[in-house]
């Protein structure tokens, strides 16, 4: 995974810029991004499994549809905390989150 990953990140708003700049995206940052993407994927999967709209999940979270969209898009403005709150609100537990992280990426 190299150029494909970079494009995927850029598409999601990480604004990495040149390849050179991408290379300074440290391993730590990459791990954090990977983690966030795994969680946003799990969030969308769970929401869809429950046949909820983003609007409905937003209400559950006392948030807004636009923020839920950003959560699922892995937007950089979304914290891991918020993603976890979303997953837990959908009935996940820490063990399941652990499994999701362990398998993903």
Site residues (CB under 8 A) for a copy of itself?
A: 27-28, 31-32, 34-35, 38, 79-81, 84-85, 88-89, 92-95, 97-105
Which region holds residue 43: left if phi is over 0, alpha if psi is between -120 and 50, else beta?
A: alpha
Angle at alpha carbon of residue 67, lines to 94 and 40, rounded to 5°: 40
Nearer to a copy of itself, 69 or 105 (CB): 105
Q: What share of the chain is helix, strand, coil (3-state, %, to 5)?
A: 70, 0, 30
Total interface residues for DNA by CB under 7 A: 23
Please pick, from the candidates 38, 43, 72, 90, the single residue that binds DNA as defined by CB under 7 A.
72
Please pick, from the candidates 1, 81, 102, 103, the single residue that binds DNA as defined by CB under 7 A.
81
Asked if residue 79 binds DNA (CB under 7 A), the reply is yes
Q: 103 is written with which tokens?
A: 């398998």
d(Cα 40, Cα 35) in Å, to the nearest integer? 9
Q: Which stretch binds DNA (CB under 7 A): 1-9, 19-27, 69-77, 90-98?
A: 69-77
Asked if residue 78 binds DNA (CB under 7 A), the reply is yes
What residue has token string 């730590």? 28
């Amino acid at each position: 995974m190299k150029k494909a990953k970079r494009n995927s990140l850029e598409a999601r708003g990480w604004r990495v810029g040149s390849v050179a700049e991408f290379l300074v995206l440290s391993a730590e940052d990459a791990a954090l991004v990977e983690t966030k993407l795994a969680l946003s994927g799990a969030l969308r999967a769970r929401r869809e499994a429950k046949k909820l709209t983003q609007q409905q999940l937003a209400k559950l979270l006392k948030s807004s549809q636009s923020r839920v969209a950003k959560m699922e898009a892995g937007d950089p403005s979304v914290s891991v905390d918020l993603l976890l709150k979303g997953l837990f609100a959908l009935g996940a537990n820490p063990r399941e989150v652990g499994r999701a992280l362990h398998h993903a990426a």
